[in-house]
Structure formats: structure tokens, C-alpha cells
Amino acid sequence: MIRKFLRRVFRVASAPASQGPAVIPPARHGIRRESISSGARRTCETLQQAGYRAYVVGGAVRDLIAGIAPKDFDIATDATPDQVRSLFRRSRIIGRRFQIVHVMQGAETLEVSTFRAAHDADTQKDEHGRVLRDNVWGSQADDAARRDFTINALFFDPSTETVLDYHHGVADLKQKTLRIIGDPRSRYREDPVRMLRAIRLSAKLGLTIDPEARTPIRDMASLMENVPVARVFDEMLKLLFSGHAVECVKRLRDEGLHHGLLPLLDVILEQPMGEKFVLLALSSTDLRVRQGKPTSPGFLFATLLWNEVLANWEARKKRGETHIPALFEAMDEVLDQQAEKLAITRRISGDIKDIWALQPRFEKRSGKVALRLLEQPRFRAGYDFLLLRAQSGEVAQELADWWTAFQSADVEARLAMLVPEKAKKRRRPGRAKTKEGNAAEPAG
């Protein structure tokens, strides 16, 4: 602890004096105090009244300037986690690699982080250069310098309605350019997830990635293999549910980042039917996100991996495996491959399997089988999945149309729509045989 404290003191003392940030007034950035959530305003006010500096930072500021409603608000301050914790009764310190404080304001949870120092020779990294621990506090200028992109290094003060801009992020946002702070190769080695983030932000905001930041991505894509699968999964969820998933996937492919993120996704996108099915699913998700409708990770991942299940299932049937057991074996194998790259939770995996398992049952439109299918908890998700299969040409449109009409019909109409079951062959009744093979005397 003493060594860390002395290191921080000497770093600050030896650091060259900076010119300071550009102070941008509301007339130029367009953000008003009322644009910030009440919880974020109260958190900043409490910290400032206690003598600390506190700002709304990062993505929320960026999105507000771009005219997008932020999903959440993060706070940056010069107060340490322990000092923040002491000011808020409903708060807790979380994280090991990046220690932050969760402050609960009503139903809202704010992430409050302490200004961090720039990385140096003493920063703990792995053999590939990825930062493993980052809890050395610094100045606001240090904190701005260690952020990934210029458009994320923006600090909004609700009390004065000004934006502090250390790296010309507001200008880059206005000029539709995504620039990285510092040397791109070093920054990608520190955290390879920044390459995914560059794709997501450029697609979401309609930005062009600066050539210096874009050029190393294809060469350094292999660094993603060293990132914990849970972090990759979180970033992929943000990307796929950004409302711009189609554009994100296209840019992932352009930059060579799609290989390995989802098992064999690059192969799927090279198959006409597979690509059509995936793009239909992504387009549907984008539309739901933009309309504010609920979305399901299980449904989307089920669509992304369905063509791999189909190929695996078909191979098993050719080897003579039974129809339905072969499907379940194929499902398990594909999800096991997926687990090597993305930490899909058990609940999401269960949703995926439920949707896949329903698909063969849609082919049966007779008797109680069809009626019971309507009662399944995951029927609606399975039905939506069937519609995508029909739109892509995998199954007949007539099958999807039948289920559309069947589920909306009344009881009598449903019974009339049912396809008659095929008559089962019955054994012709004969006289029972004795053990010796002779005909036994008829009973009675």
C-alpha cells in the first residue's frame, strides 16, 4: 500500500503540466440538466456538496450529444470507493480488476468510479499486454487519457451544464469520426474488447473508424482468444441488441472479427440460406429494439446457431441415428462448441433448446399433438422462429400460414383444420397359440 501511494505521488509530481480540457457550454453541446436522470443528478450533488468533484461521464454524454436517449448514467469522481461508500447508505463496492461503487437511487443503480491513473510500467498485465488490475487513482486528466475513444472521454457537470473535453471528442462526434486515445496497438493489447467496441459504436452512431484505429484490428483479432468468455459474451449482447446488429455483423466480417466469436458464424454467412436466415433474425431484432419492444437473447442466439444444428442433425440422421434423439444430440454438441467462446448462461441455453426442440412438432398438424403444442410455454417463441424459417425458404410458407391461422381460430375452426391421422395398421385377430405352436381352444 505504501509503495502504491508513493508511486502515485511521484507520478503526479513528475507529470508534465497539461493544457487542461476544453470547457464547452450548453449552446454547443446541447445537453441540459433535465436530460440527466434524477438519480444521476442527486449522486453528483451529494458528492459535490461533500467537497468532491463529480461528473456524468462516457457513453451517456456521448449519446446525449448525438441525440440518443442513454440507457444508463455513469458517474466519475475524485472520491475513492471507500469515500463514496460512506456518503450513500444504499451503496456497495464491487469489482476486483476495476473497483467501482454501485449507488442505488430509488429504482436506479448508478456506477460511480474513481478517476484512474494512466497505465505505466508498474501496471499489472498478462503476457499479451492485457491489463489485469487497474485500481490506482489519478487525476481527471489521467482518467480521460486512459479511456478508449475520444467520444467517451467527455465529462458533463450537471451543476454548470458544461462539458469538459480533453481529447476533442465533441468535434470528432460532430465530424462522424471514431478515434482512439493513444497508440491503437497498445490500447488494443491492454483490452482487446475495444476492437469489438469500435465496431459497435461506429455502427450505432454512423461513424467512420479513423484509419490509425482501424488498420491494426484485422492483425490483432487473435487477441480476442485471451479475453474471458464472460466479457466477450457481455460485449456481444451489447452489439447484437444495439438496434444496429445487421450493420455490426457486416462490419465484424469486414474487419475479420467474426471468426471464432460465434462458432462457425463465418461459415453460416457464406451460405446463401444461412446468411438470409441470420440477417432476417438480426433485422427483426433491430426493429424490436428501435420500437422499444422486449427482446430475447435466447431467441437471437437460437437463430444464429440454427444452421449449425441443422447440419449436425442431418449428419447424424445419415449415420442412422433416430430422428428426435439425433436432434437433441446435435443441440448439445453445438452449444458445447459455443461455450468455448461465449459464456451463455444456463437459463439462456434452456430457452435456446426449447425453441429448437419445438420445430419438429410444428410439422405435425393432426389430433391432440397440434392442440397440445399451443399450450406450450415457449409456443410463441417457437412460432416466431418458424416464421423466420419460412421467410428464408427453409420450410414451406404454407406450414407457417397454417399455424398462423390455427392459433387465431376458435375451437370449432381449429378442429376442422386438423389433418386426419393416418389409420394405423391393426393385426388381424387370430387364435392364440400354445407354447407348442398348436392352435388353442377358443375361450368360452
Total of domains in the chain: 2
Same domain, 105 and 247: no
Same domain, 274 and 389: yes
Same domain, 235 and 330: yes
What band does 393 get if pLDDT is binned at 50, 70 and 90?
very high
> Which residues does 179 contact at the CB level (< 8 Å), separation at least 6?
149, 150, 151, 167, 172, 210, 212, 213
pLDDT tens sequence across 189-227: 989 999 999 999 999 999 999 999 999 998 998 888 888
Q: Which of 194, 215, 241 is the last residue of a domain?
A: 194
Q: What is the CATH number of the domain that holds 148?
A: 3.30.460.10
List the domain range (segments joined by +) for residue 138: 16-194
> Which residues does 29 contact at the CB level (< 8 Å), separation at least 6?
65, 156, 163, 170
Active site residues: 72, 74, 148
Same domain, 397 and 350: yes
Query: Which ranges in 81-206 belong to alpha helices (H)?
Result: 81-87, 140-145, 169-174, 184-190, 193-205
The DSSP code sequence of 332-346 is: HHHHHHHHTT----H
pLDDT tens sequence across 256-274: 887 666 655 666 666 667 7
Does 407 have pLDDT greater than 80?
yes
Pairing verdict, β 177-178 and 208-209 = parallel
Same domain, 177 and 241: no
Same domain, 245 and 98: no
Same domain, 65 and 138: yes
214 in any annotated domain: no
Same domain, 179 and 244: no
Same domain, 255 and 113: no
For the whole model, what pTM was predicted? 0.77
Q: Which amino acid is at 392?
A: S
Calculate the CA dihedral of residues 8, 11, 12, 14 and round it to 10 degrees.
150
Does 2 have pLDDT greater than 50?
no
Same domain, 265 and 318: yes
pLDDT of residue 126: 57
Same domain, 255 and 351: yes
